[in-house]
A and B are shown apart, each in its own frame.
Chain A
């Protein structure tokens, strides 16, 4: 049917630039609002510029998904040829409006397939890689979409937040609860279940202690882990913390591929500085 399949994704899939270029993955930027101005993630702001901005005192930022118009323009720009199909992988619809926007934008475009990843960050990235792999073997778009829906159930996507102020700024948690958690230095472990963010536990104590506790909790059921790819995200400029997370995450499991990867500005402004995340497939 379709000779070519273009794989596209929300820019918050956080794949390494080398992979994006190698596999010609097309990205659709989200937006970051700060003060009275708005920047486009991926093209205008990146992890480091957002990191620098967030390090200042009393700054508030929030993220905005791409609008319907943005999705429409994006799809139209990608579909120069009639025989090309587009598979666009979106952030979980229970977390963002992005999926709904994409579906509305693509309603008149038969060759555009929108997939709800049920995930965030590298969780989406894992699905994108899966889609790329299948597209290379000339699978039909429908088959790829079905496989992605199956695969997304196997993705483990979690993080431990150093502070809940950022998710409170983005109205994902009540400000009072966030303040209380911060007063008592409680670090929640967030895990995605059926596309929605759930608190799977809390950590206390020093950075080293809570990071170790989080990693051990996530890797508790080792038999269920697919030891193929692991994405590690450490939203800090501390080399010590990065080394600690890498060491802990790779100590007992022999991963085939480990990517230590920064996230997009959108994800950074949602989970905040100091957070640590792990994403991988389960069996």
Chain B
């Protein structure tokens, strides 16, 4: 069905070219309008977008109904702000610079913590995958530290670093470090040995093999690690900001609770959700640019 649509659309030249070559062409045989043809070609994507929009709309509707009727079925929706409340508080928040400052500060912390983690964990994982001794040295320590949740690091981080800002970045860093490291390691372990041997037979040196085979072969796993790491970075950041911050979207959300501005809580949560989504999209985009061979 879909392949038929694709092949038929390929046969027809682009409408612009047709018009320039034969401006006074007689009424051409019935052919679907360009818009319709585009719709056919992207049928799958269009459906996904429509279904997605519908699902979000259903969620908002359920939220609206639960809050306007103040439903109380063990879970209590009496104090939960309605979508309209949140929209209202968003309008006031967007009018001032403070909200965006909170967002910007959180983003900066994520960027520092995450980039630092990626810059350390990826090379470390690659080297650990290549040199067994290094792996044997690092692995036991990392295995003990790994299960400690980032929130548990908050008191220690405050003691370790001179400023609050640094300790929050440190916690964000810790959150994303281990997923990136483990995925990179796993990627190194699953490099096809035949490819390594093929490279060696073509005259590749040890360094060239590392650069030309191990690194690109591990990239997909590295990007899985980066996506997971980014998710954990946000979790850790928000926790850290709620406990020890003075700025940031996590602090904004917690402060709203202290000040009994319930609609701001939902606004903060939604902002975190959107930011998390945007950052994983960004990673996926970079991944697609770096790995054109896996783009389908």
- The reply to whether chain A is a binding partner of chain B is no
Residues of A within 8 A of B (CB): none
